[in-house]
Amino acid sequence: MSAKNTLETLAKALLSGDVKVVDLTAPLGPDTPLIKLPPEIGKNTPKIEVHTISNYDKDGPFWAWNWFKLGEHSGTHFDAPVHWITGKDHPNNTTDTIPVSNFVAPVCVIDCSAEVAKNPDFLLTADGVKAWEKNHGAIPKGAWVLMRSGWSKRNGSEAEFLNADNTGPHSPGPTVDCINYIIERGAIGWGVETVGTDAGQAGGMDPPFPAHNLMHKANRYGLASLVNLDQLPATGAVLIAAPLKFVRGTGSPLRVLALVPNS
Ligand code: MN
């Protein structure tokens, strides 16, 4: 099929509903849960603030508009390679310079929700990815790999979402060998339902925070705080994840969409 025919077929399928658009984005506002780093590690991103400029009133009689205060790494957001020290020297490693062709890609979804329901500290390993590949085929080069954990069901409550106690946050994520394996496969990015791309306890891994350290070292991307991953097939969907074109941005809140066959 020619590229033109492919697009015509896709346009028809979108109109008919044979291909549906699924929103993988959590609501973004003052109640959005944000990561809380212990003070000895570093500063935190500020709470999101929304301020009215006018609301059809004396400050603007016919229009409403707002301005907001918003950290780059807030809510459903994209991590650019420059976010981590290991990725700081790559070319095209910021939100304004990443090639746009990388913002539309096939997506593999690895369902770990049963394991995470039993153990919030569940870690997906390279062997876990290989077991998934036995059932669904090899992760194609250039694909996003998403860890479906069910964690987004906690997104309405910051305490439940962060799930921290006196030993730190307890939330699922990848092992070092998992990230090394998907990089070897040629994955373009790693996405999760949790507040960040790494597990709550990933500060104790070697290297610490492997989804950040290793993915960004490989000039690849991250997506955090995704929702609705239970509406995606294991393979066969297309992910659209385009961060705002912040100049030299290390990340960006974004609307993440998936094109999914309506089965
Ligand atoms: Mn981030």
Q: Quick: pLDDT tens for 212-249.
A: 999 999 999 999 999 999 999 999 999 999 999 999 99
149 Cα: distance to centroid of ligand 1 (angstroms) = 18
30 Cα: distance to centroid of ligand 1 (angstroms) = 18
Considering the chain, what is the average pLDDT of its residues? Answer: 97
pLDDT band at 41 (very low <50, low <70, confident <90, very high): confident
Stretch (H or E) spanning 106: strand 104-111
pLDDT band at 115 (very low <50, low <70, confident <90, very high): very high
Q: Is residue 34 a contact partner of residue 74, using CB atoms and an 8 Å limit?
A: yes
- The count of C-alpha atoms lying within 13 angstroms of the C-alpha of 166, restricted to the half-sphere facing its C-beta, is 0
pLDDT band at 257 (very low <50, low <70, confident <90, very high): very high
How many of the other CB atoms lie within 10 Å of CB of 32? 21
- Mean pLDDT of all residues in 39-45: 91
Q: Which residues contact 227 (CB under 8 A, 6 or more apart)?
A: 23, 24, 25, 26, 76, 152, 155, 193
Judged against a pLDDT cut of 80, whether residue 263 lies above it is answered with no
Q: Which residues are near ligand 1, the ion (C-beta closer than 5 Å)?
A: 73, 79, 251
- 70-93, pLDDT tens digit by residue? 999 999 999 999 999 999 999 999
Q: Which residues contact 137 (CB under 8 A, 6 or more apart)?
A: 235
Catalytic, 73? Answer no
43 Cα: distance to centroid of ligand 1 (angstroms) = 14
- pLDDT value at residue 10: 97
- pLDDT value at residue 46: 96
Judged against a pLDDT cut of 90, whether residue 39 lies above it is answered with no
Q: Does the reported pTM lie above 0.85? A: yes
- Mean pLDDT of all residues in 138-144: 98
Among 48, 21, 20, residue whose Cα is nearest residue 33: 48
CA distance 92 to 99: 7
The whole-angstrom distance between residue 182's C-alpha and the CA centroid of its chain comes to 16
73 Cα: distance to centroid of ligand 1 (angstroms) = 4
Candidates 73, 83, 212, 216; catalytic one: 83
- pLDDT value at residue 40: 86
- Mean pLDDT of all residues in 164-169: 95
- Mean pLDDT of all residues in 44-68: 98
- Mean pLDDT of all residues in 140-149: 98
